[in-house]
Structure 1
């Protein structure tokens, strides 16, 4: 079976862009909340969440798919998990709810384990 690199790249970009669709309403909501005086902490958290997503998007946008679905999955998921860790760290910096803070701590631990597993797997695979 021949893999269409353009189709694979388009599919990968669609996966990456999906969180941006989620973020668009949050941007509008964040703007209205700041106008009503929600405070600097909420604005700092929102900026931190968006920075984490933008970093992931920058890192994956320049990466050409290898044509190997398994390798591309592992590579992109490692970046996706790192974005989750970055967002969890923002929660720990700005969040106050004990349940969400606990979840953020668990996300960091679990996603670090996943990244380690993905990188180990990638290190055993041929480059292409």
Structure 2
């Protein structure tokens, strides 16, 4: 399988895309023509890029990875949000592990799941889930 990276950016009402892996010599020396195309909607870029790749290569076994060029402020916000989500998921995983440890410790001391739920401010179902792992 051949993987083609496609770069797409907003160009007026269109999404223009380029496929840097597909080039051919231009009539002017020292220049190359890069395979390009357009789509009306961002969601159509991958399909349109596949069509262009098919015209250039006749390779039926391809994967298209589209990278959208976003304005700097948007790119920064999206990157920051992804970092925060990752840190948040890690914090939730750590919190669950600590609760699991607390539940196991209390269970080893003979407390019932109902008592543990009351002590830790959890539902009985959550205590049961944490006990099962």
Please, what TM-score do these two structures have when normalized by structure 2? 0.29
The structure in which a higher percent of residues are strand is: 2
Please, what TM-score do these two structures have when normalized by structure 1? 0.30
**Bigger radius of gyration among the two:** 2
